[in-house]
Structure 1
């Protein structure tokens, strides 16, 4: 009897332990977060998105996709019901996009806010939702959908680019391009030869620079010598100026002597010479009129008034 009771207790303990383990597994595996529903509205494709897909807000997991169905009131419109954590800052400017995880193609819902993109610092009011009337959030086209929409334009532009490249590399343009490349190569060769011819001049350039520096040094010293009042040049100029001043004084003294002594004597000599010339002139006149006056002398002068023999004219 005792063995049966022990077996019964062991069985009850085992069943209770198994139930406790199952309850713990269920408790830890279930999500106990408080979530609220939102409806994402879109007319785009939702390829790769399914129930239980992740819902992220700026990269953080905030919920799951509950269901995906067509809108019975608007043809072609899709309603994606999501369940999001209650503390997620969903506002009136929040929008949704479709993202893809890596290269697996598994899609998820990415939530973001227009106010953060604009950076105006203004906070939009929260978006109110409930189980009876879930709030609706607009779902914008994702990156791949935009790429798909613009695929035709990109293909057209690519085709135009390839056509332009084909026209660029036609025979005529190719020959012109090769000629340009040849001209560039020739220019590079000419530049190399020019560099080689300039090498000797470049070798002598340091010596020329040294000579120029020496010349500039000599010019600077000469300038300093000219600017210095006690320099050799200025002393020589002063000495020459003194000599010129002495010569000028001598010339002025000689001019004074010439003016005071020599010129009066020359004037007296000139007067004597004029008198002698007049005397000679008179003698010559008398000789011309009376040549015999040389032998017999000149005639007696006519008597003047009051003298004997004077007769009035």
Structure 2
């Protein structure tokens, strides 16, 4: 009975250890990052690239290679599917290239973007969008290797033709001709020296007088330039005095400002008053005119005032004056 209890405890311990290991593996391999699927299609070889290879965006690990197979849409091409973190800013101008890690020969996918487009690349895991895969540096070297070798072969052939026996003889002959030409040039130089010494002495003797005249002419020109410079300095001094502080120009400006202010004061204060005085004078003249008209119509108003005029004989309201009593 005791042996069964030990066996049961050992079995429970083993099961618990296995469960702990499974939980640890699940926890270590658990990845909550959301990734999107994209496709790469190329006709070049993808040697060294394996599933689960790293995908980097400007050197940052952002995903992995999911699968490598033949492209069903383009015959002869290789299709590479990659999963990339959804936070990576992929655009329609993003491109991929095949890079290699050091000397191990292991390849990985490098994503990059020149910023030519700002339109985001929309993911679709059902029909993954395609990112262009540009040839790597090694592939470009392989493609151009044959052309480079042909150019090297052509340069070598031309060098051999240039250094052939016939050309070497021509070079030797050319060097001899150059040596003879140099000797002739030396002889000609000596002849010219003798000619100068024997035939150019009068001309050389006249050179000092010509130099003196040239000096006099240069002195006259220098004096004229000095006069022009002095006139220019005087003109600059005059302009400076005119534009100096409290100078004529500034005083003229102050006088103009004072005149403008006086005109504004006259227009703002004196002119309205003159207009009012003219209006009052006009009213007084009109009243004086009406008074003169009234005097002309009723002169007796000067004696009796402006009261009503007594009716005369035959007019309504006329009453004859009573006779005065006779004196005894």
TM-score by length of 1: 0.49
Larger radius of gyration: 1
